[in-house]
Structures are given as C-alpha cells and as structure tokens.
Structure 1
Amino acid sequence: MSIAQLAPALRPELSLAPPPLETAVAERTPNPAPRIRAVPEGTEARGFVLYVGLDEAKAAAAGTNLHRIVEALKALAVEIAPNAETYAAVALAPQGAGGRDVDVVRLALQDPAALAKYRQPEDAADRHPAGVIVDISRKRALLDGETAALTYKEFELLQYLVLREGRTIDRAELISSLWNADEDEVPNERTIDVHVRRLRAKLGGYEDIVRTVRGVGYRFDRHADVSIRQASTPSPDLF
C-alpha cells in the first residue's frame, strides 16, 4: 500500500494523495533530518507509539472501522520502512465512560505521561491534613488525616459515587453495580438507604459530600475540602 493509497483505504470515497513525506518535512524545517526529540545519552530510540482516540461508532460514521484503520497504518509503516515491526493494542473501557477518547486510550494503555496526572505525593495527607481524601489507590478515606473506619462495601459505595462526580445515581444502579446476586445480604431499593446512612455517619462532619437527591438517589459533588487520590495505575472503575 502506497502513501497515496492510504486515504482511499480508510475511506473509499477519498482520493486526494498527501504530498511526499520528504517534501512535507522539508517545508516545515530547513534541516533535512530533524530530530523530533532528543534521546538521552546512553539510550537509543527503538520505535514510537501513536495513540488514536476513536470508537467503532465514530469510525463507522466516517465510513470505516478500527480494523481497517489499524491494517492500513501497519501497511503504511511497512511501505515506508520494510524492516518495521508493528504491534497494535485495542484500549477497552466500560460503555458510557466519560472523558476524551484519546485520554481514555492513554490511561488504559498505561501511558506514563497520562498516568502522571493522576499521581499524588504519598505524603499528601501529611501536608494537607484538613478535609477529606478519598484514596482510591489504597481503598481508604482519610478524614482530617485519620483513616475512616469504612467497610470494604462502604468504600466501594463511596468510590462509585466519587468516580461519577456530579451525576445522580439511582438506588437500582448502586445495587446492580456493587452487589452480586449470590451475596448473603443484597439490599433492595429501600434498604440501600441504610447502607448510605451508615457511610454518611462514618464520614462525620463531612457527611454532606454524599448528597441525597429526593425521590431519585445519591450524588457526589466536588467540595473544596475533598481531594481524590489515584494510584499510578488507575482504578478499573475509573473508565
């Protein structure tokens, strides 16, 4: 597959061929062999990663699909450099996950630069003891620097609301998402209020971070005295 054939391969109705790669580089810079990024001494560049944020629905709307795009890009790499080795990985996320597609992809595939945005210093609680820290990395909540005595299920409940900040979650969704049918004590839509009440009691003076939306369910709204700590590897529930 040639460069001129790349666009028609992705979308058959496109026929415009891009300018030769050498011409495009020459137009951008007088240096015929630019270094895109400095390589630290003692290391060598062995390849690159290209993150593409695109789901199947958006690909279909553009007249193509992810498989065709991947195959065309792999073929193009081999056309330009016959010795190139390629490997493609698909980033998976739960349906309805928020955020930009490319950011979801970078996090799912463990891009260090993307993960760094979610890291917080280990001594954050020591430097900022006042308020609430929801530590998803360690499955705990800190209240003014002290660990709240939450059960595993209570923390899961808090985490579920926190990761869906600003969205009201109805009781049925909380039950179906956090309890398995074979568990000994599966709440119904009336008794779920008991679990939320216990969680709020353990949050003490910060109980209002879990808001009750009358007749609907519960919601977490970001407060100035609440911070979220993520792990270097995001929670599976993040996406």
Structure 2
Amino acid sequence: MSLATVDTLRPSAPAPVAAPAPAPRLRAVPEGTEARGFVLYVGIDELKAAAAGTDLGRIVEALKQLTAELAPEAETYAAVALAPAGAGGRDVDVVRLALQDPAAIAKHRHTATVDEDEDRAASGVVVDISRKRLVLDNQTVSLTYKEFELLQYLVLREGRTIERAELISSLWSNADEDEIPNERTIDVHVRRLRAKLGRYEDIVRTVRGVGYRFDRHADVSIRHASAPSPDLF
C-alpha cells in the first residue's frame, strides 16, 4: 500500500470555520447619551410598490415581523409620508422631510432661502405652487383662494386647453349646489385673474368656444409643491 493510499484513508482534518462577520457598529454615541432605537427611511411610492407586486402596508408589516424575529422585545412604530399629487423630489427625501428629520429640514430651509433670493433677483413670473403664491417682477400678487386654484389647475396642465365645464367640476366639486358657478362665472374669474397678471396676462389664453390654456413664456418659472404631510399606518 502506497503512502498516498494510506493518506487517503486517514480522516481528513476539519475545514476551518469562518469567523462570523462583526456586527456593524453605531457611530460614536456622545458621552451622556445612549442609543434607544433607530429610524429607517424607506422611499417608495404606491405605484412603484404596486409594480413590485406589493404595497406600502405589506412592506411595513414585513419589516415589523422581521424586527420581532430579531428582537422580540423591540417596539415598532410606522408612519407613511404623504405629499401633494405630482410633487417632485426623491421619495426618500419626501419621507425624511415629512417625518421631521433634522438634516432634511435644514436642507429644505436652505433651499427656501435660496428660492427667496432668486425671487428678489429675478424678474418675470413665478408661480410658486409649494407656497401658494404668485410673484410678478419681484412683487407678490394678492390672489384669492379660487384665483390661485384656477391658475394652478391650468399650470399643472400646461399646453392643454381646459373646458369651462371641467374647471367647474374640478374646482367646485365640494361646493353646495347653490355655490356652483356657471360658465359665465368662470369667465369672470379668469378675467379677474388675468387683470392681476398685468402685462403677463397672455400666459392664460382664451381658446374661443372651448376654454382656457396656460402657455409658459421664457420669463415664467414654476415651483412645484414639495412640502409633505405625515400620516400613520
């Protein structure tokens, strides 16, 4: 029997066992404080969740269940961040701002300050949907609630002619029957809005026999809504 053969009959040495990877450590905790938990911001809207074959509620429940399996004594609390339909920005940034993340709030305030500086520096029209205001040549214009709603509705449908009937059904959907205007009243609202737009009145165009359309000029800028509001699961 060769040495090689004898060697093959000997029990092989146990394979070395890899040491478990060290658990990730928290950043240094300031003296006099202790870590009591953490926040995980998840940025995903309802459409993206549906495309992935799930929904926000199921994601929340899965995360709660995982936490309970890893640490049965852990307490969990979940909230969903809401934002105006069509609001821009990254989903996770919206969540952080809605849930009062200090870093996100500081960034948002800085951005607002920059926007105000731009208002003072630039001429033309600023339709600020996020703060519900209209600025013409560095001056804020006083619009009624309905006048701004009307302008906003047209702005968000830029380039599309909106019939008077659609304006009535959309902007007065919750009004009492005796408060719902007729098409002539819509014309009055538009006329007042255009008067306040002054030399920029032609951004709200009349399409004869049909309705109204917003046409953006080179000196018109739109700031979309970004301030979210939280709600709970």
Indicate the TM-score class for this superposition, using the shorter chain for normalisation: 0.5 to 0.7
Deviation at 1:166, TM superposition (A): 2.8
The 3-state SS of whatever aligns with 2:112 is coil
Deviation at 1:150, TM superposition (A): 2.5
2:120 equivalent in structure 1:
127
RMSD across aligned positions (CA): 4.2
Matches within 5 A, 1:52-201: 52-55=43-46, 59=49, 62-92=52-82, 97=86, 102=91, 106=95, 109-110=98-99, 112=101, 113=104, 116=107, 119-121=111-113, 123-124=116-117, 127-136=120-129, 139-162=132-155, 164=156, 166=158, 168=160, 170=162, 171-179=164-172, 180-182=174-176, 186-201=180-195
Conserved in 1, the CA contact under 8 Å of 2:68 and 2:74? yes
Cα gap change, 1:206/1:117 in structure 2, threshold over 3 Å: closer, same or farther? Answer: farther
Cα gap change, 1:125/1:105 in structure 2, threshold over 3 Å: closer, same or farther? Answer: closer
* Pair 1:226 & 2:226 matched: no
Cα distance in structure 2, aligned partners of 1:63 and 1:226: 38
Cα gap change, 1:199/1:89 in structure 2, threshold over 3 Å: closer, same or farther? Answer: same
Moved more, 76-85 or 168-177: 168-177
Deviation at 1:86, TM superposition (A): 1.1
What letter corresponds to residue 146 of structure 1 in structure 2?
Q
Structure 1 or 2, whichever has the larger Rg, is 2
2:40 equivalent in structure 1:
49
Deviation at 1:191, TM superposition (A): 3.6
Stretches of structure 1 that go unaligned for 5 or more consecutive residues are 1-21, 27-31
Moved more, 190-199 or 98-107: 98-107
Cα distance in structure 2, aligned partners of 1:132 and 1:35: 51
Stretches of structure 2 that go unaligned for 5 or more consecutive residues are 1-18
Moved more, 99-108 or 128-137: 99-108
Where is the strand percentage greater, Structure 1 or Structure 2?
2
Cα distance in structure 2, aligned partners of 1:53 and 1:186: 38
Conserved in 1, the CA contact under 8 Å of 2:81 and 2:228? no
TM-score between both structures, scaled by the size of structure 1? 0.61
Count of residues paired in the alignment: 204
The 3-state SS of whatever aligns with 1:166 is coil
2:202 equivalent in structure 1:
208
The 3-state SS of whatever aligns with 1:142 is strand
1:29 equivalent in structure 2:
none
Higher RCO by CA contacts (8 Å cutoff, separation 6 or greater): 2
